[in-house]
Amino acid sequence: MLRFIVGRAMQSLVCFVVVSCLVFYAARLTGDPTVLLLSEMASKEDAARLRAHLGLDKPILVQYGLFLKQAIRGDLGESTRLHRPVLAVLAARFPASLQLGSVAFIITLLIALPIGVYSAAKRGTVLDNAGRVFAVLGQSLPLFWLGLILMLVFAVWLGLLPAAGRGTAANFILPAVTMGWATTPAVMRLTRSAMLEVLESEYVKMARIKGLPEWKVIWKHALKNALLPVVTFSVLLFAEMIAGAIVTETVFAWPGVGQLLISSVYYRDFPMVQGTVLLLSALFILGNLTVDVLYAYLDPRIRYGR
């Protein structure tokens, strides 16, 4: 187990190094910062002095080391648009993203689990097929478009719900449904197949032979075991959730990290983009690592060989 964790952690580390190199290198692609910072009157000597001051005259590897050192200390630079430290802006925005993400996740589970279980229990019925059609449809819908259409129908035409902003509970409905939509079909499919597998097992047959009512067999005995892969997989949806958050927050002008990222790209606020991407990547990689380790702990087959 320890060997697995160490190996997997090394892989995560390499992953983070790759991402941070990319972010660092991309910053260099945007051009020489001294050109932007100095006036046209500045002499060559001034430019050289500024380069030395910013550390731009050092070898690229040393520069990368400094960049990492600063990033780990929490110094991600200053936003060129908001003129505030990147970390402070991120800290202010993060709770909004976390809230929306949690609500969306709960919605996913509330929709996907019952339908998935029901589909498996009543396999082959009209409802099962409807559920599967819904899943295929769900995976084919562009999320951003769904968000806009929901907004058009419920906010603009019917005037039932607010279109944008954050504050009341009603503000959560449209964005959370949109974001939850991204992950619902996958969880639903997985629940269905996990339940189908469990329903075939001996102990479920035993429970039926004992004369337990069918609802108890399905919702208590079978679901308990089917939940394990579903829950672990749900956490694995982290990547989808980050992408979903970026899209949803952009559509609904939700004041979170995702919307911040896209607007920073728009305004060419590179330090902000850099900091946000570093933070989200670190979260993403850590999340993946946690799930993998958890999975290996629960299922020894993963630990030994692939």
Partner 1 sequence: MNDASPTLPIFQVSQFGARLRVIPTLPAAVLLALCLLGFLAPLIAPHSPMQGSLGEKLRPPAWVTGGQWAYPLGTDLLGRDILSRLLYGARTSLAVAAVAVVVAGTLGTILGLLSGYFGGVVDAIIMRFTDIALSLPLILVAIVLAAAIGTSFGNVILVIVLLLWPRYARQVRGETLSIKERDFVALARIANCSHFRIIWRHIFPSVLPTLLVLVTLQAGYIVLLESTLSFLGVGIPPSTPAWGLMISEGRTVMDSAWWVVLWPGLAILLMVLSGNLLGDWLRDRLDPTLKQV
d(CA 6, CA 11): 9
Region binding partner 1 by CB under 8 A among candidate stretches 24-32, 35-43, 77-85, 297-305 = 24-32
Record the tokens describing residue 155, joined without a space. Answer: 């906010």
* Residue 144 within binding range of partner 1, rule CB under 8 A: yes
Q: Segment contacting partner 1 (CB under 8 A): 67-75, 96-104, 129-137, 211-219?
A: 129-137
Stretch of 34-42, 72-80, 203-211, 260-268 contacting partner 1, by CB under 8 A: 260-268
Q: CB burial class (10 A; 0-12, 13-18, 19+) of residue 252?
A: buried
Q: Are 284 and 219 in contact (CB under 8 A)?
A: no
Tell which one of 23, 174, 198, 207 touches partner 1 (CB under 8 A). Answer: 23
Task: Report residue 78: phi and psi, to 5°.
Answer: -120, 140
For partner 1, the binding residue among 270, 275, 293, 295 (CB under 8 A) is 270
Task: Quickly count: other Cβ atoms within 10 Å of residue 292's Cβ.
Answer: 19
Which structure tokens are listed for 222? 């079978």
| Cβ-based neighbour number of residue 241 at 10 Å | 24
CB of 223 to partner 1, least distance (A): 22
Kindly state the smallest distance separating residue 208's Cβ from partner 1, in Å. 22
Give yes or no for a contact between 143 and 248, defined as CB atoms under 8 angstroms apart. yes
Give the interface with partner 1 as residue ranges (CB under 8 A).
11-12, 14-15, 18-19, 22-23, 26-27, 29-30, 124-126, 129, 133, 136-137, 139-145, 148-149, 151-152, 156, 189, 239, 242-243, 246-247, 250-251, 261-262, 264-266, 268, 270, 273-274, 277, 280-281, 284-285, 288
